[in-house]
Homo-oligomer: A and B are copies of this chain.
Amino acid sequence: MSAQTGDSISTLGPCGSCGQCLHCEARSRSICSVIDAEHMARLAQYSHRLAVAAGRTFIQEGETASDFFIVTSGHVKLFALMPDGRRQITGFAQTGDFLGLASGATYAFSAEALGALSLCRFSRSGLTLLRREFPELENRLMEEASRELVQAQKRMLLLGRKTARERLASFLLEQHHLLPAREITLRLPMSRTGIADYLGLTIETVSRTLNALQREKLITITQVTQIVLLNLPALENLARGG
């Protein structure tokens, strides 16, 4: 089963058969981490690998939620849209993350590939069977759901009650916490539009506020997508609204 051309979503074959699941970076956090080699073959019955082209929206809010996905490489933007184009980014997913937990009968969000992306797809019924066969999987799913819920709470407070300055400070610190060594130099993974849609602001407000923080010597904008955090305590104080 080779990659199909002519479509921006290609089927790459069953997941379990790829060998990747046992060795890929996703393993430590994903479904694969709870399945031993012996059972990996059975995984192939339920899952398929997919390659998604950059920029492609592969989950549409409101469509029947027939599948779950696991990101095996790349980054995904999750968002909701209003008819007039207003967009709220509800989160991002990367290698190892699940997509589709926030779904009833239909998907509650849309998902777009931020770059080249590969996924593992499970039908809902397949996942149900898998969960029965691999009880450890339940823990991983609940863990992931918990993590997403905690994050959602934080974002509701941010979107409902924080000022633009506080939102940007929170955002910069969130990016900072993602860094392995807690460096103070950030490489922003998105454009001003992305930041604005994530924080519930306009691109102009994002730009102005970032420059205001620079004037106040809390940060330095070395390049458009590169920012140095000069005063972490002040940023932390600002982020919590102190």
List the interface of chain A (C-beta within 8 A of B).
80, 82-84, 86-88, 90, 101-104, 108-109, 131-132, 135, 138, 141-142, 145-150, 152-157, 159-162, 199-200, 240-242
Number of copies: 2
Chain B residues lying within 8 Å of A153, measured Cβ to Cβ, are: 80, 90, 102, 108-109, 152
Contact across chains for A149 and B160 when beta carbons are under 8 A apart: no
Chain B residues lying within 8 Å of A104, measured Cβ to Cβ, are: 146-147, 150
Contact across chains for A159 and B83 when beta carbons are under 8 A apart: no
Contact across chains for A149 and B146 when beta carbons are under 8 A apart: no
CB distance from A178 to the nearest CB of B (A): 16
Contact across chains for B88 and A160 when beta carbons are under 8 A apart: yes
- What is the CA–CA distance of A198 and B69 in the complex, to the nearest angstrom? 32
Given A156-B159, A159-B160, A159-B200: A146 and B145 interface contact (C-beta under 8 Å): yes
Chain B residues lying within 8 Å of A135, measured Cβ to Cβ, are: 132, 135
Which residue on chain B has the smallest CB distance to residue A149? B102
Contact across chains for B150 and A108 when beta carbons are under 8 A apart: yes
- What is the CA–CA distance of A74 and B87 in the complex, to the nearest angstrom? 36
